[in-house]
């Protein structure tokens, strides 16, 4: 039955990204929902995020630990949950929420490895098949919605047939970055390459309009202060028959830079 009451949501996570990005951005569209609760593993962490949330949303419930998570999972008034946790823990918790019939917006990376992701997708499809309505599980990857990339996709389509693609990313992950000391990234296979690289692969897939079907890559570990690997060089093949290279460095001393070049073939028509 239709209602004028805004949907109620919860946030799982109370780290730097929640405080600096999620809460400010969600407050900009707070007319669309009511933030009912914010949860973290510990009371101290949950309380620190609650102080910011209450300034932007009013009265928000503070939840923590196993009991707090259980409360959110069992609360029928909470329709959707934003999951912003360590990548090692996100999939398991997301599936518990989905089984409870809640929509989930989960931070990237979607999973820690291919096997975990394939198992999760299979479970999600099973849950969706048994649910009375569509249950949404979405990964919060923003590069797919960047105006420049969206416009770039249109331009590529107008130029002609794609021949090759080059993506070169250089970044400097050092102590000035607020995520440099993040413990889960340092114990996560792939380190900052995987954590940051998700964005650029998502942008690549969106621009070319098809999937990557094969990859061959070499990695190295140059800056021992960073978790391995910190350098990656690869060649890939796309569904459309096009090939390309993807190079990513997170131990560069230069400012963050990204070059994405698509070479296209355009048949010249003298009558134009």
Structure tokens at 37: 């609760």
63 close to 35: Cβ distance less than 8 angstroms: no
Distance from the Cα of residue 48 to its chain's centroid: 24
Give me the DSSP letters along 163-206.
EEEEEEEE-B--TTSTTTT-HHHHTSTTHHHHHHHHHHHHHHHH
Read off the pTM. Answer: 0.87
Answer whether residue 3 shows pLDDT above 70: no
User: How would you class 12 by CB atoms within 10 Å of its CB: exposed for 0-12, middle for 13-18, buried for 19 or more?
Assistant: buried
CATH number of the structural domain spanning residue 101:
3.40.50.720
184 and 110 belong to one structural domain: no
Mean pLDDT computed over 202-215: 92
Same domain, 258 and 196: yes
Q: Distance (Å, rounded) from C-alpha 23 to C-alpha 172?
A: 26
Domain that holds residue 25: 7-140
Q: Is 113 helix (H, G, I), strand (E, B) or coil?
A: coil
Nearest C-alpha neighbor of 95 from the set 78, 119, 64, 112: 119
Tell which of 122, 140, 158 closes a domain.
140
Counted domains in the chain? 2
Output the CA torsion sign for 69, 75, 78, 80: positive
What is the per-residue pLDDT across 146-195, written as a single tens digit (0 to 9) for each? Answer: 998 899 888 888 887 888 899 999 988 988 888 888 888 888 888 899 98
């Amino acid at each position: 039955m239709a209602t004028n009451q805004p949907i109620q949501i919860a946030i799982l996570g109370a780290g730097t990204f929640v405080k600096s990005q999620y809460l400010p951005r969600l407050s900009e569209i707070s007319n669309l929902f009511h933030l009912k609760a914010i949860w973290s593993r510990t009371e101290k962490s949950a309380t620190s995020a609650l102080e910011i949330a209450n300034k932007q949303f009013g009265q928000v419930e503070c939840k923590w630990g196993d009991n707090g998570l259980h409360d959110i999972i069992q609360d029928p008034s909470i329709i959707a949950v934003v999951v912003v946790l360590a990548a090692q823990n996100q999939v398991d918790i997301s599936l518990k929420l989905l089984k409870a019939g809640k929509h989930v917006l989960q931070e990237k990376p979607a999973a820690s490895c291919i096997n975990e992701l394939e198992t999760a997708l299979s479970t999600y499809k099973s849950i969706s098949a048994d649910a009375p309505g569509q249950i949404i599980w979405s990964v919060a990857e923003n590069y797919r919605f960047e105006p420049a990339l969206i416009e770039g996709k249109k331009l590529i389509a107008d130029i002609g047939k794609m021949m090759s693609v080059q993506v070169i990313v250089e970044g400097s992950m050092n102590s000035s970055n607020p995520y440099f000391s993040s413990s889960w990234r340092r114990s996560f296979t792939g380190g900052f390459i995987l954590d940051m690289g998700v964005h650029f692969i998502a942008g690549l897939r969106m621009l070319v309009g098809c999937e990557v079907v094969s990859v061959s890559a070499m990695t190295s570990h140059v800056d021992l202060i960073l978790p391995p690997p910190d350098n990656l060089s690869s060649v890939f093949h796309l569904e459309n028959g096009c090939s390309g290279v993807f190079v990513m460095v997170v131990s560069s001393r230069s400012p963050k830079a990204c070059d994405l070049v698509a070479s296209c073939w355009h048949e010249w028509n003298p009558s134009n």
